[in-house]
Structure 1
Amino acid sequence: MGSYLSLLSESYPPKPRFAVDDIPDLSGKVAIVTGATSGIGKETAKALLSHNAKVYVGSRSKDKGEKVIQEMKIETGKEGVLLELDLSDLRSVKKAAEEFQSKEKRLDMLFNNAGVMSPPKEQVTADGYDLQFGTNVLGHFYFTKLLLPTLLETSKASPEWKPRVIHTSSIVSSLADPLNYDTFKDGPARQAKGPRWLYKQSKLGNTMVANELAERYGEQGIISCSVNPGNIRTELRRHMSPTVENVLGVLTLYPPHLGALTQLWAGTSPEGASMNGKYLVPWARYGTPNPIALDQQARKELWAWLDEQVDKFESS
């Protein structure tokens, strides 16, 4: 009953306890937002810009990224910086991290926000992984790992500020089964699962990585947490059934600006410095993650597998 009530509360959250106007001045702070050209990512980037952060706008498409940057400049008076990044291609991930590090010596906020949900099952990443797990989990893991030296240097250089890594998860992570490693690449096990099951697994993976990162690097000044942003009406849902979407749109879907609130709370507020290892829910509240995400052994096994994939890529 407790779990059911918790999920109900996350689906129908109370009035927000945090607003964009509560964000402090972010002058001198540097942020990356992946998937920043639409939905929650765009609203997050826009709010950061409006409070004087330097924002790298992660986008798979150069044209779309440049267009959105100009739109946000008109709205905020501030101009973001394009960072071409395709999380479904590890070569693109490495190139983006190297480009960022060639320009910046600090990184105060990393919003691992991009994602795909329930695409056709035949779609896989450039490296042959399930598109959802490869993009949502492996791509972000590799990107974060490459940026760790910059995050750690930021922590040393600015002890008054703890850099934050915010992992966008989902309410469905709480409904996910234990990870099935045989589904991470195509094969009979993956083909036996539906796109929604694979999506839930990837969102659990996001929370597990967030918690493991918190455990490994919290003492070195990095804050890592995961966020259920809420049931939000965004382009992420483009593969969903129109009938289902029409019903959900009436019952539970909220606008993107609300979806950005919880991760902005974690990424910008003074309270965010105490959120290491936390799971956050709409709107700007603490929640309880899937127990699997609290299982140290399960998290370490996932981290080891992700590390192994990255090592294989780098040695190829």
Structure 2
Amino acid sequence: MGVLFSSVNQSFPPKSKFSVNDIPDLNSQVIIVTGGYSGIGKETVKALLEHNAKVYIAGRSEEKAKEAIKELQSQTGKQALFLHVDLADLPSIKRAAEEFNQKESQLHVLFNNGGVMIPPVEQLTAQKYDLQFGTNVLGHFYLTNLLLPLLLATTSPGKPARVINTSSLASTLCHSINYNTVKESPARIKLGTSRLYAQSKWGNVVFSNELSRRYSDQGIVSVSLNPGNLKTDLQRHIPGFVRSLMNWTLHPVPYGALTQLWAGTTEEGATLGGKYLIPWARVGKMEPAAQDPAAGKELWEWAEEQIRLVA
């Protein structure tokens, strides 16, 4: 019953008390948004530019990024920058972090926003991880890990650096990670793409909580969130008839940026470390098992081991 209420509460949220007009001036702030050339990532970049941040759109398609940068410049008068990174390829992530570290001496906010949703189950990352877990969880873990020194160097008293981890309502449908399914295996195929997606989104929450446990005392604010049920290209792999049934529960894309912008830009957002946020710009209740420190430690150590294999 509690899961049902939570689902309805998040799927049909009350009117937001926060709007992009509440974002403070972000002049001198340097921000990365993964997947920032489409969907809620693009809306997030737009709002950040409108409030004078220096924004890097991180993604694998330079062509799509250039199109988005041109469109956003016409809308805001400000120009975002492109950072090439393929979250499904660990060496690409390392190159992107090295490039960013060469260009910038500060990083105020990292929006781990990009991701994939229920692609064909056969699809894998370059290193043969499940595409969803490898991209949504391991890819963002590695990027965050490589940028942590810069995030830590950016913190100052009363002004933490922030890592905003975009999860999903699907995270409430999972209670653990089956590590036999995160790489190519019969168990992964058997689990199926929808449950693999939920597992990856649960992993986002677990990672965010563990990051908060390990680094909150050093000035890092890490939060996870459900951006809402939205009409975005993320649903491109969902069969058309299913999408038609879903449409009545979906909201316009700009709404999806509200919760992560609230967490990533406002004074109140700086107090939300370790929280799970729900639409629109509210603190919610996360799936209980995702708060277990043992689950966080296991995921963190597993991810570190994967990184060592390609270092």
- TM-score under structure 1 length normalisation: 0.97
Query: What are the residue-to-residue correspondences of 1:32-71 with 2, within 5 Å?
Result: 32-71=32-71
Task: Name 1:308's counterpart in structure 2.
Answer: 305
Offset of 1:105 from its aligned partner?
A: 0.6
Task: Name 2:194's counterpart in structure 1.
Answer: 196
Query: What are the residue-to-residue correspondences of 1:1-316 with 2, within 5 Å?
Result: 1-155=1-155, 158-249=156-247, 251-314=248-311
CA distance in 2, matches of 1:209, 1:312: 20
CA distance in 1, matches of 2:3, 2:88: 33
SS at the partner of 2:119? coil
SS at the partner of 1:182? coil
Offset of 1:159 from its aligned partner?
A: 2.3
Offset of 1:3 from its aligned partner?
A: 2.8
Structure 1 regions of 5+ residues with no counterpart?
none
Amino acid of the structure 2 residue aligned with 1:183: T
Offset of 1:58 from its aligned partner?
A: 1.0
SS at the partner of 1:224? strand
Offset of 1:279 from its aligned partner?
A: 0.1
Structure 2 regions of 5+ residues with no counterpart?
none
Offset of 1:160 from its aligned partner?
A: 3.4
Amino acid of the structure 1 residue aligned with 2:287: N
- Detail structure 1 runs of 4+ shifted over 4 Å in the superposition: none
Contact 2:130–2:183 (CA under 8 A) maintained in structure 1: yes
Contact 2:175–2:287 (CA under 8 A) maintained in structure 1: no
CA distance in 1, matches of 2:202, 2:98: 28
Offset of 1:13 from its aligned partner?
A: 0.4
Offset of 1:191 from its aligned partner?
A: 1.4
Offset of 1:85 from its aligned partner?
A: 1.1
Offset of 1:66 from its aligned partner?
A: 1.2
1:247-303 Cα deviation digits (max 9, x unpaired): 111x21111100000000000000011100000000000101111211111110011
Amino acid of the structure 1 residue aligned with 2:301: A
1:6-30 Cα deviation digits (max 9, x unpaired): 2110010000111000000000001
Offset of 1:203 from its aligned partner?
A: 0.1
Percent identity between matched residues is 56
Instruction: Give the alignment's Cα RMSD to 1 decimal.
Output: 0.7
Further displaced range: 274-283 or 159-168: 159-168
SS at the partner of 1:24? coil
CA distance in 1, matches of 2:184, 2:3: 32
